[in-house]
Homo-oligomer: A and B are copies of this chain.
């Protein structure tokens, strides 16, 4: 995704008041592009924001979802991950190193089969396997 130069402006443009916590959560999502869980975000940020509450992380991500600047990545059924890249792209999770890779998808290559005339709002492509490093 195109790097978000000014987080404050980006949040404002998306109808979100740029509080300190919100900016730090969004910054974390965009700098590390690691599709973190709520717990991961919380554990990393509390190192630098000792007063941070996990509820705030939940509240913030919920708001970001409503405003459409983050999406959920549901690869595993027991972990919810978040992604500040809302453009169309696929996710690959390596079953050995657990790393999640983004990969490009050509929109015109997507095979919508017999639902092609339904109204399509979101497309999610998730792949599991073994990455190059672990093969």
Interface residues of A, Cβ cutoff 8 Å to B: 72, 74-77, 80, 90, 92, 94-95, 101, 103-106, 109-115, 117-132, 135
Contacts and interface: CB of A to CB of B under 8 A. Distances in A.
B128 A101 contact: no
Given A109-B111, A119-B135, 12 more contacts: A74-B74, A90-B115, A92-B118, A104-B113, A105-B111, A105-B113, A106-B111, A110-B111, A110-B125, A112-B127, A118-B130, A122-B129
Contact of A129 (B103, B110, B120, B129): B120
Contacts of A132: 117-118
Contact of A76 (B74, B76, B110, B114): B74
A75 B125 CA distance: 11
B111 A92 contact: no
Contacts of A92: 115, 118
B95 A118 contact: no
A130 B122 CA distance: 10
